[in-house]
Amino acid sequence: MSYLPLPCSNPAFRMEKSPAIRSQKIVPLWRDERILRILGQVVFLVLVTAFLVYLVRNMLVNLNRLGLGLGFDFLPLTSGFDIGEHLIPYGRSDTFLRALFVGFLNTVLVSGLGILVATLLGLIFGIARLSGNFLIQSLARIYIEFLRNIPLLVLLFFLYTSVFIQLPRVKEAITLPGPVLITNRGIAIPWGIPTETFSEYQYILGFGLISAIALERGLTLYSRRTGRAPLGWLWGLVLFVLVAIFGWLILPLKPLTLDEPVVQGLRLAGGRQFSPEFMALLSGLAVYTSAFIADVVRAGIQAVGRGQVEAARSVGLNGMQTLRLIVLPQALRVIVPPLTSQYLNLTKNSSLAVAIGYPDLFHVSGTILNQSGRTVEVIVITMAIYLSISLFTSTFMNWYNRRVRLVER
Amino acid sequence: MNRKVFASFALIAIFAVALAACGGGGGATPGGGESQTAVETVEVIKTVVVTVEVPAPAGTPQVKIQVAQAPGFGDTLKAVQARGNLICGVNGQLPGFSFLNPEGQFSGFDADFCRVLAAAIFGDPSKVEFRPTTTQERFTVLQTGEIDVLVRNTTWSLTRDTELGLNFVATTFYDGQGIMVPRDSGIATLKDLEGGTICVQKGTTTELNLADVMATEGVSYTPAVFDDINATYGAYGEGRCDAVTSDKSQLSSVAKGLLPNPDDHVIMDITLSKEPLGPVVRHGDDQWFDIVKWSAFATFAAEEYGVSAANVDDARSTSTNPEVKRLLGLESDMGLKLGLTNDWAYNIIKLVGNYAEIYDRNLGPDTPTFIPRGLNSGYMDNGLIYSPPVR
């Protein structure tokens, strides 16, 4: 009887303890953190869905009350209006759908060119901002600070009403060598008109492009193996140009004839003409966004350690080489993600075209909305198209981002 | 990850709307056979008895109107009376029709028709809230009930009358589309515009007529489309376009108001289209439709019978013409039939004027925006302004 069992050796004690442990493990459902977390998300999703359903229902009920239905059956109907600038043939007897497509292409054109020019300008001013030269650095700083701090809409109005519309009238057109005609009706440049042999020439160009890429790849591999750097892209370009010239010469008929713009009475004729609206929108979007891109580029370059530059200098690379081979590849990792959002901004900002009358997607959809009376549908389509453009752009940029990230070692 | 989640939400939202849209479209087609269709059909056929009690002015017998009416009947008038003012959608940029005058008041032909309504409803023409609208938003703000009536040089067409869920009430101004060119351009016919650029305002019937006429005539041209009046005429004034097209009334009034040298521009002797302009109301409230319609007709009738703001009090006490007596509420109960008071037309004439007075005040020979009356004369002067009988 004097025997006192140790707790651990007492099976009864263990038996007592274990249900307590189990009850600690089996938390009731309403206090289980994992379940609560999932439940929280479900509740949130249900609430959001219910809210959306409520909004849509509310809209449908109100539309019904007015005797208006929703539907996309108006899209194949004749639009009845003309559009000033179209990349594909378009006239009043075409459909609303085609009109939307014309607007979409105009948006893609102005955003695509805008992104290109903005990136170039941004790169130049971003690097200039870090220059040791006081004049260059100050000019870049003024450019960036000025453009970043005025609203884009104001800039567009300024460019349109005070620059492009104020250019000389057609009678007093400024003629630059080329000839490039500059008037307030637009800017006209010489442009090639395809002839019968143009399609054959396209094949030749395609062949040239493929062989140039193959040469560049080959030379890059060669340089990796041997350590010599034979400038792959330059030789590729040379090959492409050679093929292009050769193709031009062997074809019996020139694939393109040059169409020079001329002043014809009160109008411009021939060549490729860019309307003042297009020029104002393109230049406004490009310089405005370039100021932001310049800052992104500057931040990227500054993110590369000073030691990297000093090391590059000490192994004998010159300034340009340091920038191209050492700084930029590392800076790109920092630059690309914010650059993506600048590209998206530019694309979305192109809808301000409506203020100066360039027929972009939003401008055309506004007209369609008014002529067809289908407000909700047209707005939904327009949103969906902008969303698709943006998602496509960011998918592409994310892909590029992953690619440049591999450079990191 | 974040972006992905966000993108999926956006997609869900878009799909939800798109799906709903398909559902609505299906339901609207007759014989869809779904339960939703059945519900809608019931709603359309269902009528309710609305008892409209109208406070009549002293001296007139109390009347109770009891008629079978569709739902929505009388809602607009009730809402307007409860609010205490009329919200009237106007252009706001068009001299002679509706624009802010130097005193900060909206004035013009369209603005006065808003006042006509306010006078008919409240006996006070100042109880109007003017809401300037763009061509693009004008129908939407009316559909959604943001405004009670749209009096904004809007052309009556079949599509707009049906597809938009709106009713055009009456034509208060018969217009036609014209083309204005600089005087020194030497452009005289449509053929002279071959290859040219024409400024036009976005979302207008003008834009459509231009496309139609140019296609018919086989003249190729480039439209330069702008969002508002100032931008359109601003661009034309700077020589962006060879010509500008719009309703002739707008061309002549704007040319005088917005262009730097109005005498350097000339309206071509071509009329591209018929442009009947007038007030617009929503579908679904026939009482309101009647009120707006007969308020406009009252101004026509007053001109026809020679009743003006100056002599309306005399006419009320001395006139023996039964038409005039009915109009002024001395005989019968025309105002009560509309859901208004019997002196509705008297108030319109006394406080705003008859059609001729409204026209002369805003577009007459003494105004800077003079437009000859032409088609807008009374029918007795070979015009088209004609009121059905007030009886």
Class of domain B176-276: alpha beta
- The confidence score (pLDDT) of residue A92 equals 86
Number of CB pairs, chain A paired with chain B, less than 8 A apart: 163
Proportion of chain B above pLDDT 90, given as a percent: 47
Question: Which one is predicted more confidently, A48 or A263?
Answer: A48
Per-residue pLDDT band for B12 (boundaries 50, 70, 90) equals low
Range of the domain at A128: 96-190+260-405
Strand-pair partners of B378: B385
Between B305 and B60, whose confidence is greater? Answer: B305
B176-276 has the same fold as B50-172+278-381 = yes
CA geometry: angle B293, B246, B94, nearest 5 deg? 65
A325-358 confidence digits (pLDDT tens): 888 888 888 899 999 999 999 999 999 999 898 9
Q: Binning pLDDT at 50, 70 and 90, where does residue B33 land? A: very low
Give domain status of residue A293, yes or no.
Answer: yes
Cβ neighbours of B42 in A, within 8 Å: none
Is the domain of A61 the same as that of A163? no
In a shared domain, residues A148 and A42? no
More confident residue, B193 or B38: B193
pTM metric for this prediction: 0.74
What local confidence, expressed as pLDDT, does residue B169 receive? 94
Contact A266 B242 (CB under 8 A): yes
Give the distance from residue B367's alpha carbon to the nearest chain A alpha carbon, in angstroms.
31
Q: Which of A43, A65, A87 is the last residue of a domain?
A: A65
In a shared domain, residues A345 and A285: yes
Report how far residue B2's alpha carbon sits from residue A391's, in angstroms, rounded to the nearest whole number: 13
Q: Are residues A42 and A130 located together in one domain of the fold?
A: no
Has residue A1 been placed in a domain?
no
Q: Do B16 and A53 touch (CB under 8 A)?
A: yes
Residue with more model confidence, B47 or A218: A218
Residue whose C-alpha is closest to residue B350's, from B322, B316, B308, B382: B308
Tell me whether residues A66 and B211 touch, CB distance under 8 A.
no
Q: Is B39 on the interface with A (CB under 8 A)?
A: no
Nearest CB among A81, A185, A380 relative to B207 is that of A81
Q: Over 90: is that where the pLDDT of B163 sits?
A: no
Q: What is the pLDDT of residues A148-201, one digit of tens each?
A: 999 999 999 999 999 998 888 887 888 888 788 888 888 888 888 887 778 888
- Which residue has better confidence, A241 or A252? A241
Domain boundary at A26, A47, A65, which?
Answer: A65
Scanning every residue of chain B, which has its alpha carbon at the shortest distance from the alpha carbon of A58?
B20
Instruction: Provide, rounded to the nearest whole percent, the portion of chain A with pLDDT above 90.
Output: 39
Q: Say yes or no for a CB contact (<8 Å) between A82 and B214.
A: yes
Flag whether A357 is in a domain.
Answer: yes
Choose the closest CB to B24 out of A69, A91, A370. A69
Q: Where are the domains of chain B?
A: 50-172+278-381, 176-276
Q: Nearest residue on chain A to B232, judged by CA atoms?
A: A357
Mean pLDDT over B327-340 rounds to: 91
Nearest-CB residue to B16 (from A56, A66, A277): A56
Q: Do A70 and B24 touch (CB under 8 A)?
A: yes
Is A141's pLDDT higher than 70?
Answer: yes
Amino acid at site B115: R
| pLDDT of B18 | 47
- Write the class of the CATH domain B50-172+278-381: alpha beta
Mutation to test the B interface, candidates A44, A66, A156, A376, most B Cβ within 10 Å: A66
Q: Is residue A234 part of a domain?
A: no
Domain co-membership, A295 together with A185: yes
Among B4-13, B138-147, B367-376, the least confident range: B4-13
In-domain check, residue A17: yes
Which residue in the set A56, A66, A169 is minimally distant from B17, CB to CB? A56
Q: Give this complex's ipTM.
A: 0.72
The whole-number pLDDT of residue B8 equals: 52
Residue A25 belongs to a domain: yes
* Number of domains making up chain A: 2
Task: Report the DSSP beta bridge partners of residue B216.
Answer: none
**pLDDT exceeds 70 at position B41:** no
